[in-house]
Amino acid sequence: MKTALITGASSGIGAIYAERLARRGYDLILVARDAAKLSALAARLEASSGRKVDTIAADLGVQADLRRVEQRLASDSGIAMLVNNAGLGAVKSLVDSTPEELDTLINVNVTALTRLTRAAAPGMVARGAGAIINISSIVALKPELLNGVYGGSKAYVLALSQSLHHELGDKGVQVQAVLPGAIATPFWDRAGHAVDNLPAEWVMTPEDLVDAALAGFDQGELVTVPSLPDLDDYNRMEQARHAMAGNLSRNKPAARYVTAA
């Protein structure tokens, strides 16, 4: 019996992951703040899939709640997959945001995601099997599209996933970062910018997004960019990044920075 724990499962992308993973035979643990929505989804999925669906109502920005989810991840050896999907966006610039708004975004998008990964990974390594799916965003590659704090948080998720793959890939733990473009979910209204304001050709349904992301997962991709037509575009960027590696740390500054004393 395998179980997937999905954060942010009460709506949007997380709710579709829940449906698709139940269909794939996973029991589920659904996490979000809205207990009523989680219970309704759990009842619907149990009836349609026959899988066992548990819920944890938790605000991942609140330490005590985060610890409850961490404890479940660390103690439940049936958890074979963690989908770190909960997250929030913001369309305000850094200077227009209050410090509290920045904290809330970073606490959920960065801190909670990291701590839940830390809670799940040791058991997966010990079992020699597991999967961690992190929902990043295309703004990890192009932070100028939205505001700097949201883009920064999603660039962190991409970099953490690359680093985790380096650490855990040969220990039986599959890591995937998913980089959605604009997806038609409540995310946009919550961030203060209706999705209808975007050109329709930019906006994908959450169903198409999750199905493409799971196809990328099945293909063993570390990074999945569901909208990108030509994978070579991404691969060229990766090759350029890796090609720089040998020159990024040297014992002398580059000649252009050497000034006459």
Judged by the rule CB under 6 A, the positions of this chain that interact with ligand NAP are: 8-14, 32-34, 37, 59-61, 85-89, 108, 135, 137, 180, 182-183, 185-187, 190
Q: How far is CA 206 from CA 56, 68, 213, in A?
A: 23, 28, 10
- For 172, the 3-state DSSP assignment is coil
**What are the backbone dihedrals phi and psi of residue 7, each rounded to the nearest 5 degrees, phi first?**
-90, 150
Which lies closer to ligand NAP via its Cβ, residue 126 or residue 159?
159
Residue 29 CA to residue 199 CA, distance in Å, equals: 35
- Report, in Å, the least distance between residue 72 CB and ligand NAP: 14
- Report, in Å, the least distance between residue 31 CB and ligand NAP: 6
- Report, in Å, the least distance between residue 253 CB and ligand NAP: 38
Q: 225 with 212: CB under 8 angstroms?
A: no
| Residue 150 is a catalytic residue | yes
- Report, in Å, the least distance between residue 205 CB and ligand NAP: 11
At position 223, the amino acid (one-letter code) is V
Residue 124 CA to residue 131 CA, distance in Å, equals: 8
Catalytic residue from among 17, 26, 150, 156: 150
Q: DSSP letter at 8? A: S
Residue 252 CA to residue 16 CA, distance in Å, equals: 51
- Report, in Å, the least distance between residue 208 CB and ligand NAP: 12
Strands (E), 161-225: 173-178, 182-183, 203-204, 223-224
Which lies closer to ligand NAP via its Cβ, residue 32 or residue 80?
32
- Report, in Å, the least distance between residue 34 CB and ligand NAP: 3
Residue 121 CA to residue 135 CA, distance in Å, equals: 17
Which lies closer to ligand NAP via its Cβ, residue 43 or residue 126?
43
Residue 134 CA to residue 50 CA, distance in Å, equals: 26
At position 209, the amino acid (one-letter code) is L
Which lies closer to ligand NAP via its Cβ, residue 88 or residue 106?
88
Residue indicated by tokens 């997962």:
217
Which lies closer to ligand NAP via its Cβ, residue 111 or residue 162?
111
Q: 92 with 39: CB under 8 angstroms?
A: no
Residues recognised as catalytic = 150
